[in-house]
Amino acid sequence: MIVIDETGRILAFSRAAEQLFGYTTDEMVGKDVRCLMSGNDRTNHQNYVNKYLDTGKSHIIGVGRVVTARRADGSVFPIDLKIGEARVGDHYLFTAFVRDLSEQRRNELRMQEMQAELVHFSRMSAVGTMASALAHELNQPLTAVANYLEAARDLLDSDNEATREILREALDEAARQAVRAGEIVRKLRGYVSRGEIDARSVALAPLIADAVALSRVSGDVADIPIEQVVDPDVGCVLADPIQVQQVIINLLRNAADALKGRDGPMMSITATRNSEGFAVVSVCDNGPGLTEDIRRTLFKPFMTSKSQGMGLGLSICQTIVEAHGGKIEAAPQNDGNSCFRFTLRLDPASR
């Protein structure tokens, strides 16, 4: 609290004011209050006061304003200033109530900075996740293209008509996989930007057979027997077939990774209907199974136990399955096998 007269002379300077401004009361009493001000206020203060005394119109008395003040060391800081007036005989006294806003301002500023950082960070991480997800999903069709083309090159010199037929098939297949890669980019981009899927009624059994065939094209899955147990009555699901195939391929690749170097490796894929209107697809292997630690972070992006792994496969599977209104989980452990199962909504019209 600071009391001044109508000429701006300081009459009282409170203890709190001493602390705030860094002057002592003795130093300040009798001084011009403008030494506590900065900028325009400092220049115009006496004009404001004179105008008020002449016209009775004030912009600050009883209202309060945020202005800048100046400390003894010359530093400036924001204050909330309220002024009250008192009339003593012919004279006016003005009492200034000053509240330091620098802490509050600092907090506001920090909040703004943090918000800006957060927005930036989330944009960056969305871009990063998107890029990694693309790399992960494109790996499979591109490997397939490379394998088909390599096979084709080996067959190129043959004059045998049957061999040329195989050559043509390999090239067709390579072209199909390249188109598929493009499709994956398009879908993933559409999906990331709008969170939309392009679901329609598709027969589940052939979709699974295709996914198994596709997964065979990449080296590591090729040699492991895959038992397919698909309920012939399983019917149609509401799904985007390319995305569901990606889920199955990712699960088969994980199973194949888990089976690397093990004796008697086996994988299986089964599909049945449940009573709640969903198809249930399970992908199992007789590998080492999942430890409790791995289970906990299974579907988190970038969590991998493999030196070459990206830890994105299951997170992508989960995103796709949940976007379809289904669920994906690792079934409870039994004797070292792993089983992942996911659900897809059945097309009610398909029965």
Ligand X SMILES: Nc1ncnc2c1ncn2[C@@H]1O[C@H](COP(=O)(O)OP(=O)(O)O)[C@@H](O)[C@H]1O
List interacting residues with ligand X (CB under 6 A).
250, 254-255, 258, 285, 287, 290, 294, 298, 303-306, 309-315, 338
Count CB atoms within 10 A of the CB of residue 70: 19
Nearer to ligand X, 46 or 132 (CB): 132
Q: Does 141 bind Mg ion (CB under 5 A)?
A: no
Total residues at the site for Mg ion (CB under 5 A)?
2
Nearer to ligand X, 173 or 285 (CB): 285
Q: What is the closest distance, in whole angstroms, from the C-beta atom of residue 310 to ligand X in the complex?
A: 4
Distance of CA 254 to the CA centre of its chain: 25
- Provide, rounded to whole angstroms, the least separation between the CB of residue 137 and ligand X: 12
Residue with Cβ nearer Mg ion (96 or 259) = 259
Kindly write out the interface string for residues 282-321 of this chain, putting x where it contacts Mg ion by CB under 5 A and - elsewhere.
-------------------------------x--------
**What is the DSSP secondary structure assignment for residue 303, as one 8-state letter?**
-
Task: Give the position of tokens 């049945």.
Answer: 272
Which residue's CB comes closest to ligand X? 313
* Of 66, 6, 13, 67, the residue nearest 40 (C-alpha): 67
> Is 340:328 a contact under the CB 8 Å cutoff?
yes
Helix-strand-coil percent breakdown of the chain, rounded to 5?
50, 25, 25
Residue 38 or 286 with smaller CB distance to ligand X = 286
Q: Which of residues 243-282 bind Mg ion (CB under 5 A)?
A: 254
Placement of tokens 């088969």 in the chain: 252
- Picked from Mg ion, ligand X, none, the partner binding residue 255 (CB below 5 to 8 A depending on kind) is ligand X
Structural contact between residues 136 and 310, judged by C-beta atoms closer than 8 angstroms = yes
Contact (CB, 8 A) for 310 and 302: yes
Interface residue list for Mg ion (CB under 5 A): 254, 313
